[in-house]
Structure 1
Amino acid sequence: MRILVVGAGAVGGYFGGRLAAAGRDVTFLVRPGRAAELQSAGLVIKSGRGDLTLRDVKTVQAEAITEPFDLILLSCKAYSLDDAIASFAPAVGPNTTILPLLNGMGHIDVLAEKFGAARVLGGLCVIAATLNREREIVHLNDAASLTLGELEGGLSERVQAITEQLTVPGFHVSASDATLLRMWEKWVFLATLAASTCLFRASVGDILGAPDGRRVIEAMLGECRAVAQHNGFTMGPDFDARANQMLFTPSPLTASMLRDVENHARTEADHVLGDLLQRGGPAQQRDAGLSLLRLAYNHLKAYELREARSA
């Protein structure tokens, strides 16, 4: 199976690097600057699951793609989706499968409209990773997993074959017969974490230490869950257990969106929070009052305006 990994940043580089190290046929679609870095220093992963340096990494640039790939692993930021689609479109053939690992749900609609729903899987990843100053991929904790499945549910032969190809050391992969629900669960959790930590500019532990911090996180989680419920997705006991452990246990946990704000970088506010508001039904419409979720979203939009003015 020929696999094209779009980008070699923290997420694509980690999963693609592990696949390549295990002998899978992996090519990274990168810009010239990143290609030069990989040629010079290799693809370097620093991780508690094992450090890795890959030499002779296979790379390609968009204009050099001459034939389709079997699987496209897409892990760009949501705001870069249009540019990513333009770059990997020449790699999409009649039998190509696209596995996106983006946050939220809006990208599914965009990819299905562009390439046809039959070519698009549902997918999500759980990992905390970043690029350091040396452009090495730094895995920040032990979590590293991929989940994939058909958008309409069920376990197809295609999903089982891809899952087998993706099963390598360094991360856990699983096929799900309810991938859309898993994606909504991640979205609800991520939106709660991002909205809370960005609004307070603080970690979960610091928020919980504030007089009303726990109440704010509880209310934010309730609002996000209500949006999922409005769209037909109900979070179950397993989600409750995971969310309670992550959101209500004092820890240094923050959302990557807060790190973006602290680094004066672009955020996925529109895709993680704004799109959730758009799908929220009457409870989240503009005339329904200023909810905590809407307050957090506007907080981030004001940040964007300030950054644009400074630039």
Structure 2
Amino acid sequence: MRMLVLGAGALGGYFGGRALERGMEVAFLVRPRRAAQLAADGLVVESPLGDIRRPVATLAEAGPGFDVVLLSCKAYDLDGAIAAIRPAVEAGARVLPVLNGLAHMEALNAAFGPDRVWGGLAKCAATLTPAGVVRHLGDWRWLTFGEQDGRMDGRAAAFAAALGASPGLVAEAVPDIARRMWEKLVHLGTVAAGTVLLRASVGEIVRAGGQGFLLALLDRNAAIAAAHGHPMTDGFMAQYRALFSDASSTYTASMLRDLEGGGRTEADHILGWLADAARRAGVDPALHDLAHLHARAHDQRRAAGRLPS
């Protein structure tokens, strides 16, 4: 199978590199600066599960001939990403988005139709350094996807089989991707709101006396999901109550890393979307509104050039 990866950033670079290791034909659709880095140094991934350093194929424009487009852009770049991948999708490729949240699904379905868009999620912590190195943080390496209606028509399963399972990647096609995406949003909405608002890791928040705050966020996110038809299981809630009670945890949201690095955030697409979903569900949105406001104030300060150097 042939895969087109939009960008070669943290997730695109990581999963694209692992696909290359499995013998899949992969091309990266990248901007000129990233193309120059890849031409000079190849794709470089540093990971506790095995490093990657190899030459890769890059494209300046999408075209036909691909089975899957891996979409791993930031949510605020989605409009440009849709335009960039359109030639490949209209030629028959399926879109596998691994963006945070759920807001992007409506835009992708409107652009291409739900039959061409899979649901997807990545459980993988990674970052792209200024030198162009993809740095894998920890051992999360899961890529999960499936047709939105759960029909399992064979294409997603074939793609999962092509990626296979290896020490650096576990790919799975599932019939219940909508439920799993809501599970990730409950988890993500908790860590993003908590670590962004308090500017600290989960463990630091717990040690400061904030365990109850994190668990209240988790419960509210679970209530939002349940009101929208996706209740969390007892096992899920037990797992994440333990995660958000761990005083030794160094876990932070990528949104906090973006914020502390002076970058743009996906606050509107995650925290703002959850706050609106809470209102629709009759759940108190106060904690989400506060976290959203905090991140938006950062974005305003960034736009004004007033961030600390």
TM-score (norm 2): 0.94
**Corresponding residue for 2:23?**
23
Name stretches of at least 5 consecutive residues in structure 1 with no aligned partner: none
The one-letter code sitting in structure 2 at the alignment partner of 1:176 is V
**Corresponding residue for 2:183?**
185
**Corresponding residue for 2:266?**
268
- Structure 1 residue 121: deviation in Å? 0.5
3-state SS in 2 of match to 1:244: helix
Distance of 2:20 and 2:135 partners within structure 1? 17
Kindly indicate whether the alpha-carbon contact (under 8 Å) linking 1:22 and 1:168 is maintained by their aligned counterparts in 2. no
- Structure 1 residue 43: deviation in Å? 0.4
Distance of 2:72 and 2:85 partners within structure 1? 12
Distance of 1:126 and 1:176 partners within structure 2? 15
- Structure 1 residue 227: deviation in Å? 1.2
1:147 correspondence with 2:144? yes
Deviation digits for residues 234-254 of structure 1 (CA, Å, limit 9, x no counterpart): 000231133123211121111
Trace 1:140-219 onto structure 2 (pairs within 5 A): 140-169=137-166, 170-211=168-209, 213-219=210-216
3-state SS in 2 of match to 1:142: coil
**Corresponding residue for 1:309?**
304
Taking a change above 3 Å as real, the CA distance of residues 147 and 11 of structure 1, as seen in their structure-2 partners, is: same
- Structure 1 residue 80: deviation in Å? 0.7
**Corresponding residue for 1:111?**
108
3-state SS in 2 of match to 1:138: strand
Kindly indicate whether the alpha-carbon contact (under 8 Å) linking 1:68 and 1:92 is maintained by their aligned counterparts in 2. no
Taking a change above 3 Å as real, the CA distance of residues 66 and 172 of structure 1, as seen in their structure-2 partners, is: closer
3-state SS in 2 of match to 1:156: coil
Kindly indicate whether the alpha-carbon contact (under 8 Å) linking 2:30 and 2:58 is maintained by their aligned counterparts in 1. yes
Moved over 2 A (4+): 65-68
Identity across the alignment (%): 45
1:102 correspondence with 2:99? yes
Distance of 1:271 and 1:164 partners within structure 2? 32
Once the two structures are overlaid, the 10-residue window that deviates more, 151-160 or 190-199, is 151-160
**Corresponding residue for 1:8?**
8
Identify the match of residue 135 of structure 1 among 129, 132, 136.
132
Once the two structures are overlaid, the 10-residue window that deviates more, 86-95 or 27-36, is 86-95
Taking a change above 3 Å as real, the CA distance of residues 152 and 6 of structure 1, as seen in their structure-2 partners, is: same
The one-letter code sitting in structure 2 at the alignment partner of 1:238 is G
Deviation digits for residues 6-34 of structure 1 (CA, Å, limit 9, x no counterpart): 11001000000111122111010001111
TM-score (norm 1): 0.93
Distance of 1:94 and 1:76 partners within structure 2? 21
1:237 correspondence with 2:227? no
1:74 correspondence with 2:71? yes
**Corresponding residue for 2:293?**
298
Distance of 1:246 and 1:214 partners within structure 2? 10
Distance of 1:160 and 1:310 partners within structure 2? 47
The one-letter code sitting in structure 2 at the alignment partner of 1:175 is A
Distance of 1:67 and 1:215 partners within structure 2? 51
The one-letter code sitting in structure 1 at the alignment partner of 2:121 is L
Deviation digits for residues 99-158 of structure 1 (CA, Å, limit 9, x no counterpart): 111111111111111011100111100111111232111111011110111111243312
Kindly indicate whether the alpha-carbon contact (under 8 Å) linking 1:69 and 1:93 is maintained by their aligned counterparts in 2. no
Deviation digits for residues 215-260 of structure 1 (CA, Å, limit 9, x no counterpart): 1111111111111111111000231133123211121111111111
- Structure 1 residue 168: deviation in Å? 4.9
